[in-house]
Structure 1
Amino acid sequence: MDYIEATKEVCAGSADAWDDTTAAGAVQLAIEAWKRLSGTDLAWDQFGLEMLDIRARLYADHDDVVVDAAAPARDDVETRHAVATLVEHLARYHEYLAASGRDDLARRLDHDAAAQQLRRAAAALA
């Protein structure tokens, strides 16, 4: 499956229907784009730093998640849009978790902060 198709497939479900494995897959897809495209524009470096921090803080327990998709072929409008859309879905997932009341206050604040951080990452690609 190519990269754009993979991002669309992950985004097909609404963010409030995601689980941690789907979210970890989205993080992995976003990081793969950064790995492949960093160096072409400083925006990718800013994006990558945000995504690596999110992975380390919230998805360290999901190192075994693998996404079977080709790396993005080039840094173009379509790729940036796909990555930004993916990250926006991930931000909505974290907003949902922050508002759901399932976790304690500290964890809900982590999710809220993650949503804001993910939006900064997506904005870096605009």
Structure 2
Amino acid sequence: HPFFNKFFEKTNELQLPILFHSGDGFSSPGLILKIAKRHPKLPIILGHLKESAINALKECKNIYVETSGTLPDFIELAVGIDEDRVLFGSDAPYYRYPTQIAIVEAAEISKKCKKKILYENFQRFISQK
């Protein structure tokens, strides 16, 4: 929506990250992908790693995904695209931390990669800002 253009321009200029709840309708990864492409310095995190978020991750280097409410299979797919842009998410208090950690642990990826997802990627992400 044009109302948000100034907001996205300013956050792009300042390289401030934005986390979007990704789902359907106004929060679909397809619509968010358009914002990411128009504002290439804007770090965008897509919440709730699903198939549509995987597609956005493939297409745009300033898109990151977080793992709340996902399945190990989607984590594996995202890691196959770029393990450095997969961030742990819990969506607490809606989901429980132990459950969300267990989902990452259940993914068939290396221990090194799990460590990156659980905390190293986010540490690097926030230190860049």
TM-score (norm: length of structure 1): 0.31
TM-score (norm: length of structure 2): 0.31
Instruction: Judging by fraction of residues, say which structure has more strand.
Output: 2
Instruction: Judging by fraction of residues, say which structure has more helix.
Output: 1
Rg larger in 1 or in 2? 2
